[in-house]
Amino acid sequence: MTSPARVSLADVSPAIALGPLDGRYRGTVAPLVDHLSEAALNRERVHVEVEWLIHLTSQQVVPGAPALSAAEQQYLRDVVATFGPAEIAELAEIERTTVHDVKAVEYFLKKRLADAPAVLGPDTVLPDVSELVHFACTSEDVNNLSYALMVRGAVQDVWLPAATTLTDEVAALARELAGVPMLALTHGQPATPTTLGKELAVLAHRLRRQLRRIAGDEYLGKLNGATGTYGAHVVAVPGADWPEVSRTFVEHLGLTWNPLTTQIESHDWQAELYADVARFNRVLHNLATDVWTYISRGVFIQIPVAGATGSSTMPHKVNPIRFENAEANLELSCALLDTLAATLVTSRLQRDLTDSTTQRNIGPAFGHSLLAIDNVRRGLKALSVDTALLADELDHNWEVLGEPVQSAMRAASVAGVTGMHNPYERLKELTRGRRLTADDMRDFIAGLGLPEDVAARLGALTPGGYTGLAEELVSFLDV
């Protein structure tokens, strides 16, 4: 039987996304398009070329070059500000001829200079400075600065605000639940009780530490020619202080100047940043798996969404899909970030092109992380706490009081109280491998011969009341 020919989905217009970030999850990650897309890269290239031209003329670096008026400088900067669909298409058309993306940007901007008299009048000097576009630059001078600006914008304007909001929400939830006692599990076994808020505070504290590192990361840039020697610069204009020209230009863009490079900026700053973001991802992954486990235990109850389906066959289910989605996307993000960090720090001799295609995946690396952040936020908003279950768990695990009882016995022994020998071993014999009732524990305490005040304190202790300073520790989030 011959199957009928299928519609070619590759030919459908508008184009169908190959990956989920530009398809199913587009709405969540769309803010990154302004910073990390191919179009954003080209816009930043135009931006760098414009600012370099303005820098050369305003600083009178090249003898004989006319100074640009405020209106002429504004005209150039408007080329960047108005860069949109028509300009994207025009640039793509030029690149089909040049087969070189940065050269296409140079020709694109030179055309704008040629068109300036129609906008500014015949006296404009912009056509006269046309050959200062891309002056003494190698493509990587433009690219490294463009990527630094793109990544800085993506982190500071999109990713960091989203990550900070999430972390603040985790911290707020920790404060709200600071006093809710919970049986702790170490190695999956009942352990010293804590509070649910304190455990969330640990995660919020860890996330905040990574955010501080990310907020303090540097974004480096260079402009020094084909092999980092200022060779063309010095031959063309020997009288200029080119390292100073380069430094002031890079710093004018808001970046940190790198004085020693090959043809490429070494990308070490990118590796450092991506390692920090990946570490944030991994802490967030820990939060997602812990919350998933709390849901599995029944500690957290998921609030059903009207009309939503948890299972196609089991109508009772409300699946923790937000946290599972976050886990997967954090793993994808980390895989990409780890690859970026490992690949970008190596370039054969003075230049190879492995970084070119690698850097085009910065967007997906941040996109998967941003998607995970959104899922965790949405998941946390749909949770409530089953305090009755927590109380019941604690009431069925009186053996956890073996720790404070044997510790009190040790202290009493040091104070000279007799009969306090082998406290750990005696509590081990009492508690290990069995469940104790409240009466079992209180009878044991009463028979120890402890000082009256100590016996009273231990006799009044319950698993739910044995949380130490857990509630107070949450306040360290505000330090």
Q: What percentage of the chain carries pLDDT values higher than 70?
A: 97
The radius of gyration computed from the CA coordinates of the chain, to the nearest angstrom, equals 32
356 catalytically annotated: no
Q: What pLDDT score was predicted for residue 435?
A: 87
The answer to whether residue 3 is catalytic is: no
Report in angstroms the alpha-carbon separations of 130 from 114, 124, 145, 478: 8, 12, 21, 56
For the chain, give the mean pLDDT.
94
Q: Kind of pairing, strands 181-186 and 189-195?
A: antiparallel
Burial label for 330, CB within 10 Å (0-12, 13-18, 19+), is buried
Residue 384 confidence (pLDDT): 96
Q: Which of 187, 312, 316, 421 is catalytic?
A: 187
Identity of the highest mean pLDDT range in 120-124, 415-419, 430-434: 120-124
Separation CA 178–CA 98 (nearest Å):
63
Average pLDDT for 288-307: 88
pTM attached to this predicted model: 0.94
Residue 161 has pLDDT above 80, yes or no: yes
Sequence-ordered list of residues with C-beta below 8 angstroms from that of 342, at least 6 positions apart, any chain: 271
Q: What is the 3-state secondary structure (H, E, C) of 314-341?
A: CCCCCCCHHHHHHHHHHHHHHHHHHHHH
Q: What is the pLDDT of residue 314?
A: 44
Residue 310 pLDDT greater than 80, yes or no: no
Please write the tens of the pLDDT for every residue from 163-186.
999 999 999 999 999 999 999 999
DSSP per residue, 372-406:
HHHHHHHHHHTEEE-HHHHHHHHHT-GGGGHHHHH
Q: What pLDDT score was predicted for residue 304?
A: 72
Candidates 366, 421, 365, 361; CA nearest to 41 is 361
Q: Evaluate the CA torsion angle 55, 59, 64, 67 in order and state its sign.
A: positive
Q: Does the pLDDT of residue 288 top 80, yes or no? A: yes
For position 431, what pLDDT does the model report?
86
Q: What is the pLDDT of residue 280?
A: 98
For residue 479, what pLDDT band results from cuts at 50, 70 and 90?
confident
Residue 312: its pLDDT value, please? 45
CA dist 147 and 264 (Å) reads: 12
Give the pLDDT confidence of 337-379 residue by residue, as tens digits.
999 999 999 999 999 989 999 999 999 999 999 999 999 999 9
Q: What is the mean pLDDT of residues 459-474?
A: 97
| Mean pLDDT comparison of 25-34, 307-316, 416-425, highest-scoring range | 25-34
Query: Looking at domain 34-132, which of 1.10.275.10, 3.40.50.720, 1.40.20.10, 3.40.50.300 is its CATH number?
Result: 1.10.275.10
- Does the pLDDT of residue 309 top 80, yes or no? no
Which CATH number describes the domain made up of 397-471?
1.10.40.30
Domain boundaries 143-308+315-386, CATH class:
mainly alpha
Delimit the domains of the chain by residue range: 34-132, 143-308+315-386, 397-471
Is residue 129 over pLDDT 50? yes
In this predicted structure, the answer to whether residue 294 has a pLDDT above a threshold of 90 is yes
Section 275-279 average pLDDT? 98
pLDDT at 282 over 60: yes
Which residue blocks in 177-256 are alpha helix, DSSP H? 196-216, 231-236, 242-252
Crossing angle for the helix pair 101-120 and 85-98, nearest 10 degrees?
130
Q: Tens of pLDDT along 373-387? A: 999 999 999 999 999
In the predicted model, is pLDDT for residue 73 greater than 50? yes
Residue range 85-106: mean pLDDT, rounded: 96
Instruction: Give the Cα separation of 161 and 383 in Å (integer).
Output: 23
Segment 234-244 mean pLDDT:
97
Pairing between β-strand 220-221 and β-strand 189-195 as defined by DSSP bridges: unpaired
Catalytic residue among 58, 100, 296, 311: 311
